[in-house]
Amino acid sequence: MPRRLLGRQSLASEMAVTVDDLPWVKGTRSGETTAEGTHRLLAHLAKRHVTAVGFVNCARTAGHPGVLDAWRAADAALVERYGR
């Protein structure tokens, strides 16, 4: 049975957050590294209790050690994807 909030029905909702093509090939801000951008995004997601799913572009992982470990440490689900 739905809960009531201020006389109106309250509906539970769920949302999935997905991030494609991990790891990023550069940071999102000028001068930011991939690791810095990753940690900044993960901190924002954690602050808001958002769980994410990351799609990993396996062709990009070699030059970014530790970035996928950060996603794993944040308890994100990672899906391998092989690309160019």
Q: Is the pLDDT of residue 7 over 70?
A: no
Question: Per the structure block, which two tokens stand in for 51?
Answer: 């769980």
**Dist. CA 67–CA 76, nearest whole Å:** 12
**Dist. CA 50–CA 52, nearest whole Å:** 6
Residue 3 lies in a domain: no
> Is the Cβ–Cβ distance between 21 and 57 less than 8 Å?
yes
Question: Per the structure block, which two tokens stand in for 21?
Answer: 């093509």
Strand partners, 17: 52
Residue 5 lies in a domain: no
Strand partners, 78: 54
**In a 3-state reduction of DSSP, which class is residue 20?**
strand
Residue 2 lies in a domain: no
Residue 74 lies in a domain: yes
* Reported pTM: 0.73
pLDDT tens per residue across span 26-61: 667 888 888 888 999 999 999 988 888 999 988 888
pLDDT at 12: 59
pLDDT tens per residue across span 11-33: 556 777 888 888 876 667 888 88
Residue 47 lies in a domain: yes
pLDDT at 9: 54
Residue 58 lies in a domain: yes
Domains held by the chain: number:
1
Host domain of residue 38: 14-81
